[in-house]
Amino acid sequence: MEQNKLWVVAENVDEGLREASFEVLTEVARLASRRGDQIMVLFCSAPDADVNKIGVELASYGADALLPLEVVPNSSRCVGGAIADLAKECRPDAIFIAETIWGHDVAAWVAAKLRTTLLSNCVELGLGPDQELTVTRHVYSDTVAVKYASLGEQTMVITIQPGLFNVKKAFPGKTINLLERHAAQAQNPDPVQVLGFIKADPRTVDIVDAERLVVGGKGMGTAENYKLIHEVAEILGAAVGGTRVARDNGWVTLDRQIGQTGKTVAPELLISCGVSGAIQHTMGLKETKCLVAINTDKHAPIHKLADLSIVDDAPRVLKEFIAKIKTG
């Protein structure tokens, strides 16, 4: 473990590792190959996880070693503690984590336990004239960039903003050194007890967080018709959004406007009704997974982006759809 100077802490999600963790790994691997450093990836593995398979994948992104962690209990405090203990022993140059909710908490615990600072939400990594690590953070609401260089005496704890770096398998066929599972039992168990999970209410959730959206534009015609959008949203458990025109007409509030001057959304499903698909609006749709467009104009640009285009009168389609659901 001692020769691994750069550590990347990967985050688990249900289907494997989080995309943001691969972004961090790709970027760190780019630096490591220039500096001739070894990268070790740490991740909290379930006992039944197929670490070999994960290892092969991580290697192709540039990881040199993989250390599966087994921390009991699995809270961010205990995970942070286990990583800090390892870091005190092995003294890596830096520990990188993606700035997610879990990532931030773990990084903060690691930094607190190492009594060092936390370079959170970094946007750029680089190497200085003497090959020392440099990191850039944006401060004052992203208006000022501050760059720091490592003096190399302490382990730096760095979190990286997700969504900035491309993911790239730059090292196909590379092999990984799979280390033995490291089990850590926290001496004093975390007294914070997790009791449950409450799913967001689609009626009040911020559209940025919404998993499903029904969006109306000028083509809905009237405020009365716009109520159909709300009804369909209710049926599908979706949140309501709108275009600029819908907002100007007072059908939605500004915090529900999607696009250049509104918000960027990332739903699994978005039903777009009476929306032309102007670029200023579709910019805000780019993370949408599945798009249904209902527009009378078959040449409307929104149809080009849609997974399902319905060339029809939107209020009527929605009305019939609601009737169909209600009658069963």
Partner 1 sequence: MKVVVLIKMTTVIRGNPNRAENLEAILDPGNVALDVNSYDLAALEEAQRLKESIDYVHITAVTVGPESAVKALQIAHGMGADELIWVDAQYEGGREMELAGLLAEVVSKQGFDLVLCGLKSDDVGTGLVGIGVAEILGIPAVTRSVKIEILPDGGPLQIHRHVGKGNREVVHCPLPAVITVERSRRMPRYPGVARYLAARKKIIRYAVEQQPGTQVSLRHVETKKAQPRPKKIFTPDDNLSAADRMKMIMTGGMARKKKKKAQSVVSGSEQLYNFLVKNGFLKNKA
Ligand X SMILES: Cc1cc2nc3c(=O)[nH]c(=O)nc-3n(C[C@H](O)[C@H](O)[C@H](O)COP(=O)(O)OP(=O)(O)OC[C@H]3O[C@@H](n4cnc5c(N)ncnc54)[C@H](O)[C@@H]3O)c2cc1C
Residues that bind ligand X (CB under 6 A): 217-219, 243-246, 257-262, 274-276, 278, 280-281, 294-297, 300, 313-315
Q: Which does 57 bind (CB under 5 to 8 A by kind): partner 1, ligand X, none?
A: none
C-alpha span between 205 and 263 (Å, rounded):
13
Report in angstroms the alpha-carbon separations of 164 from 26, 61, 242.
Answer: 11, 16, 27
Q: Residue 175: which of 46, 43, 52 has the closest Cα?
A: 52
DSSP secondary structure string, 234-303? HHHT-EEEE-HHHHHTTSS-GGGBBSTTSB----SEEEEES----HHHHGGGTT-SEEEEE-S-TT-HHH
Closest CA to 109 of 83, 70, 90, 135: 83
Residues 142/103, Cβ–Cβ less than 8 Å = no
Query: Judged by CB, which is closer to ligand X: 55, or 216?
Result: 216
Q: End-to-end CA distance of the chain: give it in Å, rounded.
A: 62
Nearest approach, Cβ of 315 to ligand X (angstroms)?
A: 6
Nearer to partner 1, 116 or 177 (CB): 116
CB of 206 to ligand X, least distance (A): 16
The answer to whether the bond into 162 is cis (omega within 30° of 0) is no
Structure-token match 């691969």, residue found: 22
The Cα–Cα gap between 241 and 258 comes to: 7
Q: Which does 295 bind (CB under 5 to 8 A by kind): ligand X, partner 1, none?
A: ligand X
Length of the chain: 328
Q: Which is nearer to ligand X, 137 or 256 (CB)?
A: 256
Residue 87 or 111: the one with the smaller Cβ distance to partner 1 is 111
Which of partner 1, ligand X, none does residue 210 bind (CB under 5 to 8 Å by kind)? partner 1
Q: How far is the CB of 177 from partner 1 (least distance, A)?
A: 28
CA 44 to chain centre: 18
| CA-based torsion, 74, 75, 80, 81: positive or negative | negative
Nearest to 289 by CA among 305, 310, 277: 305
Shortest Cβ 246–ligand X spacing (Å): 6
Query: Which of residues 92 and 217 has its CB atom nearest to ligand X in the complex?
Result: 217
- Which partner, partner 1, ligand X, none, binds residue 151 by CB below 5 to 8 Å per kind? partner 1
CB-based contacts of 321: which residues, under 8 Å, 6+ apart?
232
Query: Nearer Cβ to partner 1, position 57 or 313?
Result: 313
In the complex, minimum distance from the CB of residue 235 to ligand X, in angstroms, rounded to a whole number:
19
Residue 178 or 310 having the CB closest to ligand X: 310
**Partner from ligand X, partner 1, none binding residue 305, C-beta < 5-8 Å depending on class:** partner 1
Q: Which is nearer to ligand X, 77 or 244 (CB)?
A: 244
User: 262 touches which of ligand X, partner 1, none (CB within 5 to 8 A by kind)?
Assistant: ligand X
Task: Compute the least distance from the CB of residue 254 to ligand X, in Å.
Answer: 10
**Least distance from C-beta 114 to partner 1, angstroms?**
9
CB of 180 to partner 1, least distance (A): 28
Sequence-distant (6+) residues with CB within 8 A of 136 are 122, 123, 124, 125, 126, 145, 146, 147, 148
The entry of ligand X, partner 1, none that residue 246 binds, CB within 5 to 8 Å by partner kind: ligand X
Q: Which does 300 bind (CB under 5 to 8 A by kind): partner 1, ligand X, none?
A: ligand X
Q: Which one-letter amino acid corresponds to residue 297?
A: D
